[in-house]
Amino acid sequence: MTEPNHANMVRRYRRWEELSQQELADAVGVSRQTIANIERGNYSPSVHLALAICRRLNRTVEQIFGDLQEGQSSV
């Protein structure tokens, strides 16, 4: 099974950091269901929440929520 074809990379980087949905949710102050919905693309987080997720996952906003996928250039 492949990941959804959208720019949201929360699941990929959460798993890279070896965090459960609940652990990430606790770290950023939301429910596990919110993280699950963000990962599925069913919910767009606020700027504040997106930044908190990026900080916890040690990634930039562009890496997690941007249009460019890893390995692509903007040219």
Residue 46 lies in a domain: yes
pLDDT reported for residue 7? 45
H or E element at residue 60: none
Is-contact 10 39, C-beta < 8 A?
A: yes
Residue 33 lies in a domain: yes
pLDDT greater than 50 at residue 3: no
Residue 3 lies in a domain: no
Residues near 5 by Cβ (< 8 Å), separated by ≥ 6? Answer: none
Angle at 40 between CA 42 and CA 62, to 5 degrees: 95
Residue 55 lies in a domain: yes
Residue that has been written with the tokens 């929360």 in this structure: 10
**Percentage of the chain exceeding pLDDT 70:** 79
Per-residue model confidence as pLDDT tens digits over 42-73? 999 999 999 999 999 999 999 998 875 555 55
Q: Which of 44, 64, 62, 18 is nearest to 27 (CA)?
A: 18
- The enclosing domain of 34 has a CATH number of 1.10.260.40
Residue 18 lies in a domain: yes
Average pLDDT value for the chain:
85
Looking at residues 12-36, what average pLDDT do you find?
97
Residue 56 lies in a domain: yes
| The total number of structural domains that make up the chain | 1
